[in-house]
Amino acid sequence: MSAHPVDEKLPALKMATTGLQHVAAMYAGVVAPPLIVGAAIGLTGTELTFLTGACLFTAGLATFLQTLGVWNVGARLPFVNGVTFAGVAPMLAVVDSTGDKDDALPVIFGAVIVAGLLGFLAAPFFSKAVRFFPPVVTGTVITLIGVSLLPVAFGWAQGPSPTADDYGSATNLGLAGATLLIVLLLRRFTRGFVKQIAVLLGLVVGTVIAVPLGVTDFTPVAEADVIGFPTPFHFGAPQFHVAAIVSMCVVMVVSMTESTADMLALGEIVDRPADERTIAAGLRADTLGSAVSPLFNGFMCSAFAQNIGLVAMTRIRSRYVVAVGGGFLVLMGLCPVAASLIAVVPRPVLGGAGVVLFGSVAASGIQTLVRAGLDKDNNVLIVAVSLAVGIIPITAPEFYHAFPETARIVLDSGISTGCVAAVLLNLVFNHLGRDGHDAQDVTHPMEAGDDLAGVR
């Protein structure tokens, strides 16, 4: 009996190249939080490099936990873990409220440790929510994951910094468009292995094209050390402040909600649906990885949705491929020069590839919705309202500006708000108070079925 594609071990070269492709897809998301927080604290260039390497190292460890698993820890799916961007805002708030900036990172690390341990204990209870995620909910959430990530790709396509003179220039957009075109041509006119690593090849060719345009910066390579290890508690022993702990616990709830949605999405894509046990194990890996991460000077870890798009597009479902990607992350954390090589890839090139990756996630969500029974009035309303709620932070970023900062951590995540809306609406329309009056087929979401008029 052949192994399920998720448990398949591919040839070494294919494992290495496809694993590296996963690293390339999520690299920018891993290094962005430490760069932003480190800059706010005022870390030196050397300290900033150290912090970034530490986050790469801990992302690799967390990915090992998810893909390979230990005991009841790890979803054992092709699931990439890394620093969650949801924690950036509260971490910046901690920095602003800390008088001595040298204490900022220890306070953050202490809060992450407590939030991670509490999340680990709560994982089996949180996982029971899987019964509230039928296809109408999971399809909506998967679609929102893709749609929410697309603005990231569009931002990358314009350039590394909105304050730069060339941000959104024809050169940057042209480079992103060229990368996108290369990926599409490779996917259309090649087959087999080359077709599967089209994104990685697109990143390489796009970077080569960028060299004569002056967009590629090799400074990170020249300045990076060959070997470096994230010394435990390099920035000081963790400190435990109640306000910081509360804010990071809120982030942990958001992270666990998104991870649950991501696991359900990935389970659909790889044809191994995530049940309650799988989700509990996956959440344990997320939370345990987060609790251990500060030991090596890393931040809270969570699932990376962009890599789900890569799995959906390449159809390479092996968790061992992603584990190899985790190995690359660990090596980058130990070898700053290796990490700097991927840092050379211009942001517009990443943006061009991101359009394909993130769009693939949205397309997977639509495929799931096709099976969700959208010929029913109730399900159409659930999808319509949940998508609208989830898209608010994308189309109107300042919509919740009057709300407290703690509430905005949740509200500004379209994935979280859309997921909550879909679950609640599904309960109201498809579960609570059902007396046999199920919604009938309708031709328009605002047309009532015969059952709503009391006619059977």
CA atoms within 13 A on the CB side of 400: 20
Q: Is the pLDDT of residue 453 over 50?
A: no
CA pair distance 58, 49, nearest whole angstrom? 14
CA pair distance 114, 120, nearest whole angstrom? 10
Regarding predicted confidence, which is higher, 220 or 22? 22
Residue 410: the pLDDT is 66
The helix/strand/coil state of 301 is strand
Least Cα distance to 346 among 188, 103, 92, 171 occurs for 171
User: Do 147 and 352 meet the contact criterion of CB atoms below 8 Å apart?
Assistant: no
User: Do 196 and 18 meet the contact criterion of CB atoms below 8 Å apart?
Assistant: yes
Residue 49: the pLDDT is 76
Give the Å distances, CA to CA, from 198 to 15, 185, 193: 14, 9, 9
Q: Is the pLDDT of residue 93 over 90?
A: no
CA pair distance 97, 89, nearest whole angstrom? 12
User: What's the whole-number average pLDDT of the chain?
Assistant: 80
Q: What's the pLDDT tens digit per position in 264-297?
A: 878 888 888 888 888 899 999 999 999 999 999 8
Q: Is the pLDDT of residue 60 over 60?
A: yes
Residues 6+ apart with CB under 8 A from 14: 193, 196, 321
Residue 185: the pLDDT is 94
The arithmetic mean of pLDDT across residues 382-408, rounded, is 86
Residue 54: pLDDT band by 50, 70, 90 thresholds? confident
Retrieve residue 302's tokens. 């969570």
Q: What's the pLDDT tens digit per position in 62-87?
A: 999 888 888 888 888 888 888 876 67
User: Do 356 and 180 meet the contact criterion of CB atoms below 8 Å apart?
Assistant: yes
DSSP 19-43: HHHHHHHHHHHHHHHHHHHHHHHT-
Residue 343: pLDDT band by 50, 70, 90 thresholds? low
Q: Which helix (H) or strand (E) segment is 93 a member of?
A: helix 88-97
Any idea where the domains of the chain sit in the sequence? 5-430
Residue 291: the pLDDT is 93
Q: Is the pLDDT of residue 341 over 90?
A: no
CA pair distance 365, 105, nearest whole angstrom? 38
Residue 359: the pLDDT is 83
Residue 446: the pLDDT is 41
Residue 117: pLDDT band by 50, 70, 90 thresholds? very high
**Percent of the chain scoring above 90 in pLDDT:** 13
Give the Å distances, CA to CA, from 369 to 135, 138, 263, 417: 6, 8, 16, 18
Q: What's the pLDDT tens digit per position in 194-234?
A: 776 777 788 889 989 998 888 887 776 777 677 777 788 88
CA pair distance 407, 324, nearest whole angstrom? 37
Q: Is the pLDDT of residue 456 over 50?
A: no
User: Do 390 and 421 meet the contact criterion of CB atoms below 8 Å apart?
Assistant: yes
